[in-house]
Chains A and B, each alone.
Chain A
Amino acid sequence: MSSESAIDVHGLSKSFGDKHVVNDLNLQVGKGEIFGFLGPNGSGKTTVIRMLCGLLTPDAGSGTCLGFDVLSQSAEIKKQVGYMTQRFSFYEDLSIRENLDFVARLYDMPNRKQTVQAGMEDLGLMDRADQLAGTLSGGWKQRLALAACMLHRPRLLLLDEPTAGVDPKARRDFWDEIHRLAEQGISVLVSTHYMDEAARCHRLAYIAYGHLLASGTPEALIDQSGLSSFSVKDNSSALAERLRKLPGVQQVVAMGNVYSVSGQDGALIEAGLAGLPDVRFERTDTGLEQVFIQLMENVQDAAP
């Protein structure tokens, strides 16, 4: 992480009515860093992103975004940030080209026509250039929104679930593009529910109920969780129930006829598994998914 940070906010809070949606949140994103923002539905990810680009006023907290004050300089922030909304919010009665042209004009892009053309080519939108945005399929709408928020070459990208509904190939292309941009020094804050995408981030933050529960590199988060995982093979379909009842087992996930079992006390689980007749098992790496589910269950237990 470079000394200069793209996002540096402290004590950010926001409530709607008497509902606290974001509580005392600290967030630092370095220049050129890809920062993954995770959390269950309704945990406040979108709200945080909106506060960062001045769409919502925080109730408390302070900080900077690209060196500009989030409270007083949102006009400057907006010029240099590319924000992709979670819900498609381009004009459905405008074609792809017209939407991008609108954005290019707003930012007063030099060589507007070429910029729009290049933006469309990057995301494979050429064939549909003159199709009305409202008639595009979900994934293509996402691509249009992506193209639009990168069009003015922002220094910081705030992407709110950018790849929801996008096919695997396009997702991979998109993430390759994100990494390419990061290498050029562009910072990215991206919220996602996909674990493979989380794994491709430099650093992650996990929030639930508006509280930051954990943050760090994917590896560090896995280490911190202290989870041990095993993959268990058996043909008996009743195995899941028996595995759940084993001492120390916290999560059981069935994947075809392989079960993934994890818990914090590895030795205890190992002993339990060894006691089961005709079951083959081996230790595996813990994935981010297990870590986050663990985090989520812990908060639910702690919640009043």
Chain B
Amino acid sequence: MKSPLAWHRLWAIVLKEFVQMRRDRITFAMMVGIPVMQLILFGFAINTDPKRLPTVVFNASPSAYTRSFVASMENSGYFDVLTSPATVAEAREAMAIGDVQFIVSIPPDFSRQLVRGEKPALLLEADASDPAATGNAISALNSLNQSALQHDLKGPLATLGTPPPSFEIRVQRNYNPEGITQYNIVPGLMGTILTMTLIMMTGMAMTRELERGTMENLLAFPVHPLEVMIGKILPYIMVGYIQVAVILIAAYFLFSVPIVGSLTLLLACVLIFLAANLTVGMMFSTIAKSQLQAMQMTFFFFLPSLLLSGFMFPFRGMPVWAQFIGEGLPLTHFLRIVRGIMLKGNGWTETWPNVWPMLVFMVVVMLIGFKRYRKTLD
């Protein structure tokens, strides 16, 4: 028996989709434009190394040393030491609102202990709800520790000023214990942009035929549902790769995000992720009755992906049921893969545990889509 699938028909669909894509300039521009715009926003408008963050200092041990320390905090450029609020409680409230980023508490006998070489500790409370905003300031403070007092500790005390540090800064991160680094943004951005744009585009692929009335003709042609589905997916794989290229290049130059692992492996995993998302779009497309419905379904899928994949919230911080759902989503696995390859230099063996779930997902979704594909106008 002859295979029901034929290359010439698949190719006919692919070419047709390409021409249509080329004609639909706005959509095409959007698909390339969204990643660029997002990255520019993340790269420039959203400063991941902000300066002059509002800081309150409670100095219970005023001395030349502590005054000099506070002055050098300001000189570092990261801290803007405020004169109010006056009490720790008020300061905490101000932090809850977001008016204060840091609270520095210097304990009463800090100066005395310092002179005695007892390595006193001061407390830095940081609003780490946005870790990207506080990370650099904290590390700046840590290095101040090593240099700030070198001028003041002279003579017999000079030995205290050289490393190891003469006092300890205890950092307490409020609100966000896991502390996501800014590198998370790029893999996350790549995954979410691809999920949203690609599902939306393919989601409209069949409904557009339905809405424009071209479905009747398409059904009257001797073309197999799989040929149509694959033929409509292939062009978007290319679009997906363009998006990935834009994001990776920009990530490299804007954020200097390293790519420690193999780029080939990364791009191979991207292919599976693209295909998984595109089949979701196709599946929606076979269920939705209009392009609007397809859009709504896209968001229905996109939101849990955004929230439960570990992009917005640390995956391990989620309740078990949410983790369970998250494990089912391609974006979750893709994020782990991309972080693993780009930041940790993971190879194929470490990557595979996150590849097969995407493949399973894809096959299941493809089957649903195939079952749901309209073969008649009934």
Contact = CB atoms under 8 A, between A and B. Distances in A.
A10 interface: no
B222 interface: yes
Given A94-B16, A105-B11, A105-B12, A56 B378 contact: yes
A106 B378 CA distance: 24
Given A87-B216, A88-B213, A90-B214, A105 B8 contact: yes
Contacts of A54: 376
Interface string B1-37: 0001010110110011001100110000000000000
A88 B15 CA distance: 21
Interface stretch (A75-83, A180-188, A256-264): A75-83
Interface string A98-119: 1000110111100000000000
Given A54-B376, A57-B378, A102-B12, A89 B215 contact: yes
Given A56-B377, A57-B378, A98-B19, A106 B217 contact: no
B220 interface: yes
Nearest to B12: A105
Contact of B20 (A56, A88, A91): A91
Report the contact-size class of chain B (Cβ under 8 Å from the partner): 20 to 34
A54 B219 CA distance: 9
A53 B217 CA distance: 11
Contacts of A91: 16, 20, 212, 214
Interface in A38-75: 50, 53-57, 75
Contact of A79 (B12, B217, B222): B222
A85 B217 contact: yes
A73 to B, nearest CB: 11
Contacts of A90: 214, 217
A289 interface: no
Interface string B198-218: 000000000000001111110
Interface in B216-238: 216-217, 219-223
B214 A106 contact: no
Given A94-B19, A98-B19, A53 B220 contact: yes
Interface in B358-378: 376-378
A107 B24 CA distance: 26
B235 to A, nearest CB: 14
A92 interface: yes
Contacts of B8: 105-106, 108
B102 to A, nearest CB: 57
Given A89-B215, A105-B15, A50 B377 contact: yes
Contacts of B15: 102, 105
A108 B16 contact: no
A163 B214 CA distance: 19
A223 B11 CA distance: 54
Interface string A123-140: 000000000100000000
A107 B217 CA distance: 13
A55 B377 contact: yes
A122 interface: no
A93 interface: yes
A75 B3 CA distance: 13
Name, among B16, B24, B213, B377, the residue most crowded by chain A CB atoms within 10 Å (CB to CB).
B16
Interface of A: 50, 53-57, 75, 78-79, 81, 83, 85, 87-94, 98, 102-103, 105-108, 132
Given A89-B215, A94-B19, A107-B221, 7 more contacts: A75-B222, A85-B216, A85-B220, A89-B212, A105-B12, A106-B221, A106-B222
Q: Which 10 A-B pairs have the closest CB atoms?
A: A105-B12, A78-B222, A89-B217, A79-B222, A108-B8, A83-B220, A93-B23, A106-B12, A89-B216, A89-B213
6 contacts: A54-B376, A78-B220, A85-B220, A91-B20, A94-B16, A94-B23
